[in-house]
Amino acid sequence: MKMKKVVSIILSAVLAIGLTACSAKEATTEKATEADNSATTEGATEGQEAGDSLEDVVLRMAWWGSQTRHDATAAVIEMYEKQNPHVKIEFEFYDFDGYITKLDTLVVSNTVWDIFQLGGNFPSYLDKIVPMNDFIADGIIDTSNTTDAFLQTTQWEGNQLAISSGVNAYGIAYDPAMFEAAGVPEPTMDWTWEDWKAACLTIHEELGIYGSSKMDDFISGASMGISQEGYDLNFFAPSNDRLGFDDPTMMEDYFAIRKELVEAGAYPDPGAIAEIKDIEGDYLVTGEAAMTWVASNQMPTIAEASGREIKMVPSPRKTTNGPSGSIIQSSQMLCISKDSQVPEEAAKFINFFLNDEEANKILNGERGVSIMSNVRDLLLAEADAAKTAMYDYIDVIGSFETGEVNVLSPDQKVEIEDYYKLMMDQVLYGEKTPAEAAQAVFDFATEKFN
């Protein structure tokens, strides 16, 4: 069944990871404060009666993301602490890889932060998430400004695991001035991978820079790539117990394009890609590339970091009139840990984070377009050009025709994605042909379901 409306697509949206998604500075920052020995009525939050005595609470929180995210989230934490003096929040932030490494260590020791951020990787941590059903029923977490369609993006087997921090969609950010300088037409909403390749080659030839900075290869060549082969095709079948396609040659073209561009110097080789640690260091931002892969919620950050006009278009398609393969997705979610001794206090902060309008003026939709209507309307009314472009882009992707979309990834995805990336490296280093790599990925993925 084909769907054209945003809400319909959101109903089938997966929690993305942004496994490609957003990375941050390698260095970690930790803020720790010590709770006062006693709470007083001075810290009574709005709605509390004078004379109430509140016990001191210490919450631990962590996330990954860009420097913009770090600064904004820390400011909101400070705002919450001022309004709730009995609460102190110790926080840490990382780049994505560092975050997952730390999280996995805490999982083993049963000391996961009270509040922690997850994306499309959430199925790996189900045993550590406290569902929010009861907090919503008790009014501790207010969902009156959103809809079931948005809430379903973060549900699992009838449980509200979390509430999406925002929705986004992947695409290509580019510098229009660089395209003009190279004599290359700007991308269109229905451009193809061949168009992308030609633009990369010409930009490199004319300007001596990369045509594109790094892409998310697995999404481009596999999960989105298979969906671009035909409506109702998915890399993973909606049942999540098998692959959703049976022709490995569908993956060959992306392997071949990437190899051609690296060999031409129009795309960074694996060593150069490893030098990109965060959005601020992306080659588009530094002026060493004309394009990059981006999630829509990263657009304001990448525009600010570059200091130039940056535009965004959908990812290239395999054919102009074919499926785009793009969908609206939940970006991240803040979860409550089963290791927490104060889950209700964690729920109160998450409610503030999602619903408070002053807090969201600071957060400014950096994690994606808010699913809360009051926040969304507030931010859109005050949005600058980059923010407006983000909102407009969500509308564009929401208008695309799509078939049945797999809403969740199976547990096998992590291993399969890692293997796909290994095969990409082997293609780039001449150890495998695109056809051999595509067949190897198909065989490996099929075996994982047997």
* Per-residue model confidence as pLDDT tens digits over 14-43: 333 333 333 333 333 343 333 333 333 333
Are residues 132 and 28 part of one domain?
Answer: yes
In the prediction, which pLDDT does 34 show? 36
- Which distant-in-sequence residues (6+ apart) come within 8 Å of 156 by Cβ? 122, 123, 126, 408
Domain contains 306: yes
Are residues 281 and 238 part of one domain?
Answer: yes
Closest to 81 (Cα-Cα) out of 100, 56, 113: 56
Domain contains 176: yes
Are residues 184 and 254 part of one domain?
Answer: yes
Q: State the pairing for strand pair 87-94/57-64.
A: parallel
In the prediction, which pLDDT does 386 show? 83
Are residues 142 and 75 part of one domain?
Answer: yes
Closest to 224 (Cα-Cα) out of 248, 243, 251, 260: 251
CA dist 90 and 78 (Å) reads 11
Are residues 211 and 139 part of one domain?
Answer: no
In the prediction, which pLDDT does 406 show? 66
In the prediction, which pLDDT does 84 show? 97
Domain contains 393: no
In the prediction, which pLDDT does 382 show? 85
| Structure tokens given for 404 | 């049945």
Are residues 271 and 137 part of one domain?
Answer: no
- Which distant-in-sequence residues (6+ apart) come within 8 Å of 101 by Cβ? none
CA dist 78 and 433 (Å) reads 53
| Structure tokens given for 349 | 């902060």
In the prediction, which pLDDT does 41 show? 33
In the prediction, which pLDDT does 400 show? 83
Contact between 62 and 113 (Cβ < 8 Å): yes
Burial readout 294-312 (b: 16 or more C-beta within 10 A, e: otherwise):
bbbbbbbbbbbbbeeebbb
Are residues 431 and 382 part of one domain?
Answer: no
Are residues 316 and 191 part of one domain?
Answer: yes
Domain contains 3: no
Here the CATH number for the domain that contains residue 88 is 3.40.190.10
Are residues 305 and 340 part of one domain?
Answer: no
Q: What are the residue ranges in the chain where pLDDT is below 70?
A: 1-53, 149, 405-408
Q: Which domain holds residue 49?
A: 15-168+330-388
Contact between 292 and 172 (Cβ < 8 Å): yes
pLDDT digits over 178-211, tens only?
Answer: 999 999 999 999 999 999 999 999 999 999 999 9
In the prediction, which pLDDT does 14 show? 35
CA dist 398 and 328 (Å) reads 7
Point out the domain boundary residue: 354, 388, 422. 388
Longest dimension (CA), the chain: 74
Report the number of distinct structural domains present in the chain.
2
In the prediction, which pLDDT does 278 show? 87
- Which distant-in-sequence residues (6+ apart) come within 8 Å of 58 by Cβ? 35, 87, 88, 89, 90
CA dist 111 and 444 (Å) reads 35
Are residues 380 and 322 part of one domain?
Answer: no
Domain contains 4: no
CA dist 56 and 69 (Å) reads 27
Are residues 185 and 301 part of one domain?
Answer: yes
